[in-house]
Homo-oligomer: A and B are copies of this chain.
Amino acid sequence: MVRVKVPATIANFGPGFDCIGTAVNLYNFIEMDFSGFPQIEVSGEGEGRISLGEDNLVYRAARSLLKKAGIEKSLYIRLKNRIPLSRGLGSSAACIAGGMMAANYLAGSPFSREEIINFATEMEGHPDNVVPAVVGGLAISVREKDRVVYKKLSMPSDLKIVVAVPEFELSTKRAREVLPKKLGLDEAVFNIGRTALLVACLSDGDFSLLQMATQDVLHQPYRKSLVPGMEEILKEALSMGMLGCFLSGAGPSVVGLVREEKAKEAGEFMVGVFGKKDVKARYLILDTCNDGATVV
């Protein structure tokens, strides 16, 4: 029996579309063991809705890793989920990364963390949730052919991550369909410059330019219509004392970067704006989590 703790992740961090994500201190727990017959139990987020069959994502991830290791035994899986589903908080990356980490442990650890990152990215499609889910921290991920190369940064410890989580779900697939296939060179330059600024600001703890350094034109403008209230929150974020504000992953959650003393106010403001649009929401005050998926 193994027990893995795997963090939620915030991808598309500001302008870092498909490249930058951070792990936060909100976790799913995966218990896994070989057993005489397959069995899956779920409690917490997704209870009663998540499949308990062979298409369960944790199960599929575990099976895929075990197959690479040449193991065909049945699995008992018990999930205790705290990460809300389809809200842009990396629940699927957590299932894939956590499922693979657990299976790898049960198999006698035939694969390295780097290999698991590559397997999980292949399954998830993008590395920006997977990498921080596996290694923790704020991670920059780039792909070169089949390989993911990453660099982990530490977030300034005095920066709180406030996430407003709407009640409604938004599938990543649907959120991706609204993006144009082509963009202007000037739009790419917009995000490239902000990304450079973001990494520089986080590296030296300079918050003065964070507001500008978290701007994006590659995905947020197209996802406005899918997330009522987002545009208003982004517009007011600075005047509400937030240092930066952006969509979490593909949405619908919205992230505010704030100093500790402003965290509650920022959360209430965001939930309030969602409320005006008849979107029920709650907020979480989170920290970057420096550990990725861990056997506990």
Contacts and interface: CB of A to CB of B under 8 A. Distances in A.
Interface of A: 15-20, 140-144, 149, 151, 153, 179-185, 187-201, 203-204, 206, 209, 212, 218
9 contacts: A16-B192, A18-B193, A141-B193, A142-B193, A179-B185, A188-B192, A195-B195, A196-B196, A199-B200
A193 B153 contact: no
Contacts of A15: 192
Contacts of A204: 203
Contacts of A196: 16, 19-20, 140, 142, 195-196, 198-199
A109 B153 CA distance: 41
A143 B197 CA distance: 12
Contacts of A201: 151
Contacts of A20: 193, 196
A280 B209 CA distance: 44
| A contact patch SS | mixed
Contact of A203 (B179, B200, B212): B200
Nearest to A13: B196
A144 B17 CA distance: 20
B200 A153 contact: yes
A184 B185 contact: no
Contact of A144 (B18, B144, B199, B212): B212
A149 B17 contact: no
Contacts of A151: 197, 200-201, 206, 209
Contact of A188 (B188, B197, B200): B188
Given A203-B203, A203-B204, A191 B193 contact: no
A76 to B, nearest CB: 38
B142 A212 contact: yes
Contacts of A17: 185, 188-189, 192
Given A188-B187, A192-B15, A140 B197 contact: yes
Contacts of A140: 193, 196-197, 200
Contacts of A193: 16, 18-20, 140-143
A199 to B, nearest CB: 4
Contacts of A188: 17, 183, 187-188, 191-192, 218
B149 A192 contact: no
- Of A19, A201, A212, the most chain B CB neighbours within 10 A belong to A19
A79 to B, nearest CB: 31
Nearest to A128: B193
Contacts of A182: 182-185
Nearest to A201: B151
A218 B140 CA distance: 19
Contact of A19 (B19, B149, B180, B192): B192
